[in-house]
Each structure stands twice: as structure tokens, then as C-alpha cells.
Structure 1
């Protein structure tokens, strides 16, 4: 995360089929914590997933937005 930011990409998208969310690494999308009223696909262009630490929930957002990102890493 970037200090001072509250919004970060977390690797989810529905780019293949609208409304069918998946993770970019191919793992099962079996948990979600959407903000109230989300995902809403505003102006039919929101197909990536961000977490907003200001309100601690998920939002669908525009892929063109420049946000920090959070990655997963396998620990051995």
C-alpha cells in the first residue's frame, strides 16, 4: 500500500462476463465484502475491484484509474 492512500486494487474483475467476478490469479471468488449498493457498474464501465480503506469495503471501479495495488504471495 502507498502511505496516505485509502483505495487500492485487489485483483478482482468481471471483465470476462459482467457480474461474474473472479480473481486475476484464477482462484475461486468465494468471499466478498461489497460496500452498500456495490457493485453498480457505473456508466457500464466499472469492471475491476478496489478496496476502500476509508470505509473498509469493496467497490467496482474504472480500470483506467491509477491506484496502488495489493498483491498475494505464496509463503513457503
Structure 2
């Protein structure tokens, strides 16, 4: 399945230009939100722990959370748009080991773990999209929540 997903990457990137439901993104604080398929995304230029990043999204915008990802197309759009990679996502199993949830409360209906992930190495509970893999695949890894990384916030676009 993963090899199949990698073969689809060029097709998915072409489809990104088709877009989805248009809306408007927050303008508060002058932040550069990017819109895709009815949602707005903001990539943090600074690094912090997942534990601090999670509430930071809500401070930046009251309805924002660390980004949830619900399909391969959305994952490819994030990877293509924010090319910096190595960012915290909202997926975690902090409350119960092995029971991953999104911080925004949406269903875990898609995952894109790298091979042999999540591995819970030394009690890793928080998901990120790493940049250590060459070529970059956009696949996820679990990590210690105390590690400092950039992060991605997500909020619904306003109609």
C-alpha cells in the first residue's frame, strides 16, 4: 500500500490545483494561513514541544487545533505546501497507549505511518511529519511530546 501511495504522489499533486470548497481564512494577527478544501492551515515558524504547541493553536485562533489529516490528498497538499516538514500534527495517544486521537476530536479515519511506526520508543505519544527520510514521503512518526518541532494548526474556513 505504501509503494502504491508513493506512485500516486505525482497524480495527487496535480489534483491539488483543483482545490475544493472555497472559504476565507483568519486574518487576525496577520498570519499567513493557507486554504485547502474548506480548511485553513498555519505553519509555525518557531519550534516548541507538542504539549505547548497543542494549546498554542487555540491561542492563535480560538477554533484552531493541531492539524488532523484525513486522506492521502490532504497529506500530500500539506507536504507540498509547507515543504519545511518536521512538524507536529494533532494525532496522539497521550491518554491511552495505542489509542490514537486527533486533538480536534475528529475521527481517526486515516493514518500514514512510516514503516515500523508508531513504535512507542521510550514512550513516544505524539505524531509528527518528519524530515529525516530521503526522499521525503510525508509519512508520520511518533515522538516524545517534549521534543521541540515546528507545528501545523488547522481551522475550518469561514464560508
Instruction: Give me the TM-score of the superposition, normalised by structure 1.
Output: 0.87
Larger Rg over CA atoms: 2
User: Closer, same or farther in 2 for the Cα pair 1:6/1:15, shift >3 Å?
Assistant: same
* 1:38 match: secondary structure: coil
CA deviations on 1:4-40 (whole Å, 9 max, x unpaired) are 8431001110011101100011111110000000000
Normalized per residue, the structure richer in helix is: 2
Q: Per-residue deviation at 1:55?
A: 3.4
- Off by >6 Å, runs of 4+ in structure 1: none
The aligned counterpart of 1:40 is 119
Structure 2 gap segments, 5+ residues each: 1-42, 46-81
State the match for 1:72 in structure 2: 154
- RMSD over aligned Cα, in angstroms? 1.8
Corresponding residue number in structure 2 for 1:9: 88
**CA distance change for structure 1 residues 56 and 73 in 2, over 3 Å: closer, same or farther?**
same
Residues 1:57 and 2:127 are matched in the alignment: no
Q: How many residues align?
A: 75
| Greater RCO structure (CA 8 Å; 6+ sep) | 1
Q: Which residue of 1 aligns with 2:74?
A: none
Q: Provide the rounded CA distance (Å) in 2 between the counterparts of 1:49 and 1:60.
A: 4
Give the TM-score taking structure 2 as reference length.
Answer: 0.44
Query: Helix, strand or coil for the counterpart of 1:50?
Result: strand
